[in-house]
Structure formats: structure tokens, C-alpha cells
Amino acid sequence: MKIALMGNPNVGKSTVFNVLTGSNQQVGNWAGKTVERKSGIIHRANEEIELIDLPGTYSLTAYSQEEIVTREYILREKPDVVMAMVDASNIERNLYLVLQILELAPRVVIGLNMMDLAKTAGITIHSNKLALALNVPVVEITAAKGQGIEEFLAEAIRVGKLKKDPIADDVPYPEELENRIQAMERLLSDTIWATKYPLRWLAIKRLEQDPEIGQTWKSIPQTNQRNRSTDPCCDPGDPVKYELQESVSLPGEALLQAYEAEGWNKDHFEMAVADAKYKYISKILPEFRVNENPVKRTWTDKLDEWILSPFWGYPIMVIILSLVFWFSFVASAPLGGAVSEAMAWAADVIVVIMQWGQMPEVIQSLVRDGIFAGVGAVLAFVPQIAIFFAFFSLMQDSGYLARAAFLGDRFMQLMGLHGKSFFSLVSGFGCNVPGIMATRTLEDPKDRLITMLINPLIPCVPRLGVMSAVVAAFFPGSRGAFIMVSLLLLSMLLVMFSALFLRRVVRQKERSAFVMELPLYHVPTIRNVLLPTWQKTYSFLKRAWTFILVASIVVWVLSSYPQGVPMNETWAGKMGGWLAFIGQPLGFDWRIMVAIVFGFTAKETTLSTLGILYGVAADASQSIAQAMTGAMTPLGAYTFLVVYMLYIPCLASVVTTYKESRSLGWTSFGVAYNLILSFIIGWLIFHGGQLFGFQ
Amino acid sequence: MDRFLQDLKPGERARVERIEGGGALRRRMMDMGIVPGVELEVVRCAPLGGPLQIRLKGYYLAMRRGECARIMVCAPNREYSEPSLASR
Ligand SMILES: Nc1nc2c(ncn2[C@@H]2O[C@H](COP(=O)(O)OP(=O)(O)OP(=O)(O)O)[C@@H](O)[C@H]2O)c(=O)[nH]1
Ligand SMILES: [Mg+2]
């Protein structure tokens, strides 16, 4: 049995999906987190169920990429049952989509979520009366607390097993519309299409001249779809591609033309249908909803008084963001230091054991100078990653992120960016891959492309981790925080500049609308904060002992052979030698060039590579960054930091850009843009700094 | 007197009369519940010409001024005649 979770954005679909399947779909309090379908298999009552989590959508007439995913799924795959989720605190607008679903899908169960929020807002909903009004089963749930989820699923299974399709009540349309729908129904009732879709839905869509009516699509089997090794830090979902099988024109062309002559064109039909649905909702609403005190000020109102205040809003935002960065990258330094020391100590102990066991010198060197120097360097910033993610989850699960988008929108506008680009850019701090995928919520392909291309300029946490490790070594004390902030500001500045620049490169005519829901604040749940934090940290750790371990061994081999020659005569040294001409204008030596090249695969390897090449473990009490201080001036280090921050994030982000833009040209453009920009800015800083006499 | 949503002051309420401009914008608004006849309130405006926070149907929405300038509104208490279904 195939059961799909559908509903408006931010109603808790992924929360339910995670509870039922044990997955870790991204959850947070803003609209548009899930952008790709995701399926999971569960077993209940001797039944194998494929549960599908879909991106949220406001209607089935879809425009943006993630809504198209949902629409395609529901139209082309036809799930056996739809679990339609509704936000009880915002039921009026939510029911609009439910009415659309009821017209299309025969078996529907409504899940009335966020019952707790509705209650605190003074809204009572009588679910049995709602069920009566629409003639559809309704289950009350509070997904965040895990209440009612099993009942919701059980009800869906029950409906799925019914012998005959249940019949929900039709939306009453005004007479002039109803007559036209019926006329169209008569024309369509004999076609084979009427066996595939509900007749009424088909007739309405025909009147609205929906392009998909009359088309048959087939999904293209995905070849080795499970191959996800390219993006280890995030789950890209289960995308499906379709192929057009055939396209026929349905009867009724003459009728449509006659209606058009009467002034009933497709826009008019759309408007009339929507209007009738909203009217119907307003009419039945009093039957099941009691709003005790509609003017009662909720927590959200009280908090927004300050947080969105024209006067206090920005200072509060600056304080919150500074605290997050301070805790993650400054206050966490002792923790990172402790990890490095522990690693150095462990390396010592193991080397002693190996010496005692008379292991060959080569193996000892591999363990000490390869594995511990490389992987250990990367592990040192695990605390940063964990702390940053905890705060990030807190901000997104509370609903603050949506507020930040509201306040930041003015700046997005100055950059010529769409308001929703904000979420893509902010997600980029976590990892650029989901950041790039988040651009799907942008309707306009040009807006989308621009946001996709500037996303890599946002430093992701692993990058910030490496940067803060280097900063801590070269600029101890409060100077470090200052340097870190300057780097972040530089990245913001370049995002702004690039957006304006790309707006000239990518020609664009019309701007799409920015309408964003501001959700009620939620008390973040421990699960939603700690679980993603743990998962990110874990996936990072996993990378450390798989990918980075391999990279470390490769670098160690390259830098140790041929044996017995000085470092710059080894393979790595030669490779660095060829690249030195690029590094020279920036004051980089060959080691940094090698590290930068390895950084293309994943940015953390830059630090492990440097750790090996600077041969820290020879004196295990030192951290890599400290070893680098001997070899570089602070100005050189700053230049390195800037170049490091700006050149492409990792292979996975490039692959994602290609998948999302479906254009090799723009992907190459993006890579070239990043490389050239990082070189130019690095050069300016290095030479500008020398000019002003900085060291 | 007809005005545009953009001209309302924080705290003012109004009723949607018509949405100018067609296509995607109008549909997007329709999906969010902004249809002729609906009552809404401007809660606050972000400073420096930022977006407006609007309340309708019991939820909050942020909308840029550019979009608000296309929504024609009238006083909320004015007797509401059948929407003119102004489709273009
Ligand atoms: N108070 C409360 N919050 C809930 C409840 N269910 C879910 N949430 C929260 O609502 C927010 C949205 O949940 P998601 O599961 O991400 O919503 P979604 O429907 O998947 O959203 P999109 O993927 O953006 O369409 C999260 O912050 C959840 O923690 C509930 O019953 N009560
Ligand atoms: Mg979701």
C-alpha cells in the first residue's frame, strides 16, 4: 500500500514521517524545508506500507520546483491513501488544499496537527464535526509530542483497505460555474481519462486548461539510485524522473472557446473555483471551529512585538547571531584544544606500543604522520560543528529563522535577490548541498540560478571549523574573534557583490512574488535540536574515519615517497612545485597549494593535508595550525583564510549545482567564478596588506 | 475610496477588492488566501521600506511592498458586493 503525506508547508509532515519510519528528514519551523520526495517502508498489520514524505504545497497548481515534485507525485503515481495534514491553528487556509486533494484523491484521511498550538491560541476544533462537515475521517494529532500518530496511520490503513472508495462531499459551486463544469463533465465522461481521474476534477482542470491533462507520463527507472557517496553530509531524497509517453488533446475545445467568448477564460475559471472553495470553507467553519477570543494576544504576538520591532528588531538579531558565532567558534576553542591534545597523546601512546611491538618504521610513520596528523586535525573542530548545529537547529525550530528572513528581506532586495533566497543562503552555513537544493522553493528559474551560484560563497560549518582552527593559531585571544568576524563580513560583502554582478550576467525580465508565511513560534523540542546536531556531527565523524582517513593516507604516501629525499622532492612536493606559479602571487608555498588541491574533494581535507605536510606529529605536542605559524606570516595566513573560504566548497556541491541547474555551462561558470574570485580577492589582500605594511 | 494595501498604516484593517496584474502572482496570492472579499490587517512594516506583516484568516504573512502595491483594498465595513472576479 502506498500512503503519501501531503499538506501545506510547515504542518509537520516530516515530523510524522520521521516518527513512523525513523528517518531524519529535516524538520524546522519555516515553510519549505522538504524539497524532494522521500520514501520509507514500514510494516503494520501484515501490510507493507510505502510511506512518502512530500514537499509542502499551498495548492495543486504548482509553480516552484518543490511543489511540482508533489504535484507530479500525486497525479502520476496515485497513492492509495493520502494523509492530508492540517495545521489546526491555521485551519482556514489549510483546508483550501484539503478541498483540492479531496477532489483528486478518492481515499483521504485528515490529520489535524498542532492541537497544542491551537489550544494555546484559544482555538477549539471539534474534529468529529469537521469529519461530518467534509465526510472524511479526521484524526487529532500532536506530532511534536508523538501523540496520535499511530492512530492517524491506522486510520489511513483502514481507509486503504475499504472495498469501495468512500465518497466525500463535493464543494458546492455557484450555479453559473456548476453548469459549465457539468457541461464539460458530459463531454469527458466517455473518454478513458474519466477512468483514470475523478470526473469532476478532470472537468475543472480542463476548464482551467491545465497542461498536464491528457498527458501520460512514465517514470524512468533510476540506475543505481542508491549511490549517494558523493554527498555524505546530507540526504538528497528519492528523486524520480518522468518521461512523456503520449499527449492527446481532450474533447471540449469548442466548448472552451465558447466560454472564452462569454468572458470565462482559464484565469476566470481558476479564480471562480478558488473563490467557491474559500466561500465554502468560511461557510462550514463555524460548525467545527470555536475561536474563543480572536483578539487574544498570543505568545507569538508578544514576542514579535520585540523581535520584529522596527527599532529593536535589528539589534536583537545582531545580538543573537553574535552569540551563536561566539559560542560556536570562540568559546568552543578550549574544547577543540582538548581534542587535539587528546589525539596527540593517543598518537604518542600508540607509537610507543608499536615501538615496543617492533613494527616497521614505515607503519609507525603512517600511523603517526599520516593518520593521526590528518584525521586528528579534522577531529579537533568537531566541538565547533556540534555547537553551531545545536544553535542553528534552535533558531530554525523556534521560528526565529523566518523572522530573520523578514528583517533581512530589505537587504535581499538591495542585492536584487528574492526573499526566499535567504533560506537557501542560511542553509548554506550548515552545508552548501542542502543550501543549493533549497533554491527549489524559488519560482523564477533565474532567481534560482543566481542563488545557486552564490551559495558556495557562504562558508559551511566544516569550512568555518578549519578557519577557526587556523585563526586560533595565528591570532590568539580577542583578535581571533575580530578576524573571524572580518572574514564573515567579507563573505557577506562578496555574496552581495556577486548577486548584483550575476544579475547582470543572468538576464531576467519579471520578478516573482515574495509572499512568505510567518509561522507561530514553537518551543523547540529536544529531539529537533539534539538529533540533527548529533546526526551532523556523526556524519562528520564518519567522514573523518572514511573519506578523510583515505585522503590522509594518500597524502602521506605522496609526501613520503620516493623515500629518503627531502620533502619538496617527494611526489607531493613535485605536484606542489608545478602549482607554485599559481600560489606565488598570493604568497602561498607548495604545501598550501597541495592542500588546496586536495580541498576540492572536501574542504576538511585541507587541514588534514596541511597537518601531514607540515609534519606536526613529529612533535606531537603541537597542533598543525601552530606548526603553520612558523612557516607563514599572519598576513599570509589571512590571505590563505580568504582564499580557502571562497574557492568551491567541495565536489558534492558542484555535483549538486549540476543536478539542480541541469546545465554544464552554468556549473562550469560557477566553479570558474569561485576560483577567479578567490584568486583576485586573495591577491588584493596579500598585496594590499603588504602595501600598508602589515605582516 | 479605494487604496492599495501598501498605503495602509500598521494596525489598519481592510478588505481585498481586486488584485492587479495577472498570472503567477495572482495565483500565488489566491493560494495563500488573498482573494477578493477577504479581510486583512497590516500588523507592522519592516523599516527602510522592507516587507509588510499582514494578518488574514488567522495567520501571518510577510509580503514585499511591490506586491502589496498590486492589491486594491477598501474599507472593511463597507458592504461587500459579489466579487467582480476581475480576471484579466
Ligand atoms: N507545537 C507543535 N509543533 C509541531 C507539531 N508537529 C510538528 N511541529 C513542529 O512544526 C514544525 C514543522 O514541522 P515539519 O515536520 O518540518 O513540517 P513539514 O510539513 O514537513 O514542512 P515542509 O517540509 O516545510 O513542508 C517543526 O518545528 C516541528 O517541530 C505539533 O503537534 N505541535
Ligand atoms: Mg517536510
Residue B83 is assigned to a structural domain of this protein = no
Q: What is the ipTM for the molecules in this complex?
A: 0.89
Q: Quote the mean pLDDT of chain A.
A: 86
pLDDT at A230: 41
Q: Tell whether A190 and A129 lie within a shared domain.
A: no
Give the residue whose CA is nearest to atom 11 of ligand 1: A29
The residue in chain A having the minimum alpha-carbon distance to the alpha carbon of residue B45 is: A310
Q: How many residues belong to chain B?
A: 88
Q: Tell whether A178 and A80 lie within a shared domain.
A: no
Domain that holds residue A52: 2-161
Residue A347 is assigned to a structural domain of this protein = no
Q: Tell whether A114 and A20 lie within a shared domain.
A: yes
Residue A131 is assigned to a structural domain of this protein = yes
pLDDT at A231: 45
Q: pLDDT tier at B85 (50, 70, 90 boundaries)? A: very low
pLDDT at A566: 73
- Which CATH number belongs to the domain containing residue A25 in this structure? 3.40.50.300
Shortest-distance atom of ligand 1 to CA A10: 21
Residue with cell 555547537: A387
Residue B14 is assigned to a structural domain of this protein = yes
Residue A22 is assigned to a structural domain of this protein = yes
Q: Mean pLDDT, to the nearest integer, of A349-360?
A: 86
Q: Is pLDDT larger for residue A649 or for residue A285? A: A285
pLDDT at A569: 77
Q: Tell whether A180 and A282 lie within a shared domain.
A: yes
* pLDDT exceeds cutoff 90 at A96: yes
- Looking at beta carbons, which residues of chain B come within 8 Å of A515? 28-29, 32, 61-63, 67
Q: Which of A259, A274, A296 is the last residue of a domain?
A: A296
* pLDDT exceeds cutoff 60 at A248: yes
Q: pLDDT tier at A548 (50, 70, 90 boundaries)? A: confident
Q: What are A430's three cell numbers?
A: 550548515
Q: Is pLDDT larger for residue A640 or for residue A229? A: A640
Q: Mean pLDDT, to the nearest integer, of A414-432?
A: 88
- How far apart CA A126 and CA A151 sit, in angstroms, is 17
pLDDT at A61: 82
Q: How many CB atoms lie under 10 A from the CB of residue B49?
A: 12
Q: Mean pLDDT, to the nearest integer, of A573-582?
A: 83
- List phi, psi (to 5°) of B53: -100, 125
Residue A24 is assigned to a structural domain of this protein = yes
- Span of A279-283, A453-457, A519-523, A650-654 with lowest mean pLDDT: A650-654
Three-state secondary structure call for residue A65: helix
Which residues lie below 8 Å from residue A362, measured CB to CB, with a gap of 6+? A560
Residue B51 is assigned to a structural domain of this protein = yes
Q: Mean pLDDT, to the nearest integer, of A633-646?
A: 90
Number of domains in chain A: 3
Q: pLDDT tier at A160 (50, 70, 90 boundaries)? A: very high
Three-state secondary structure call for residue A438: helix
Q: How many residues belong to chain A?
A: 695
Q: Mean pLDDT, to the nearest integer, of B19-40?
A: 85
Q: pLDDT tier at A234 (50, 70, 90 boundaries)? A: low
Q: Tell whether A7 and A156 lie within a shared domain.
A: yes
Q: Tell whether A181 and A282 lie within a shared domain.
A: yes
pLDDT at A667: 94
- Span of A316-320, A381-385, A620-624 with lowest mean pLDDT: A620-624
Q: Mean pLDDT, to the nearest integer, of A667-679?
A: 93
Q: Mean pLDDT, to the nearest integer, of A267-285?
A: 92
Asked if B60 is an interface residue toward chain A (Cβ–Cβ < 8 A), one would say yes
Q: Tell whether A37 and A184 lie within a shared domain.
A: no
> A403 in ligand 1 pocket by Cβ < 6 Å?
no
Residue B87 is assigned to a structural domain of this protein = no
* pLDDT exceeds cutoff 50 at B82: no
- Span of A149-163, A420-434, A567-581 with lowest mean pLDDT: A567-581
- Which CATH number belongs to the domain containing residue A181 in this structure? 1.10.287.1770
Number of domains in chain B: 1
Which residues lie below 8 Å from residue A688, measured CB to CB, with a gap of 6+? none
pLDDT at A509: 62
Q: Tell whether A98 and A152 lie within a shared domain.
A: yes
Domain that holds residue B17: 3-77
Q: Is pLDDT larger for residue A15 or for residue A370? A: A15
Q: Tell whether A24 and A123 lie within a shared domain.
A: yes
Q: Tell whether A253 and A191 lie within a shared domain.
A: yes
- List phi, psi (to 5°) of B65: -60, -35
Residue A182 is assigned to a structural domain of this protein = yes
Q: Tell whether A127 and A253 lie within a shared domain.
A: no
In chain A, % of residues over pLDDT 70:
95
- Which CATH number belongs to the domain containing residue B17 in this structure? 2.30.30.90
Top mutation candidate among A8, A11, A518 for ligand 1, by most atoms within 8 Å of CB: A11
- List phi, psi (to 5°) of A648: -45, 140
> A525 in ligand 1 pocket by Cβ < 6 Å?
yes
Residue A281 is assigned to a structural domain of this protein = yes
Alpha helices by DSSP H, A47-192: 65-72, 91-104, 115-120, 127-134, 149-161, 175-188
Give A293-337 pLDDT, tens digit per residue.
767 788 888 899 899 988 899 999 999 988 988 888 778 878 877
Q: pLDDT tier at A436 (50, 70, 90 boundaries)? A: very high
Residue A147 is assigned to a structural domain of this protein = yes
Q: Tell whether A189 and A281 lie within a shared domain.
A: yes
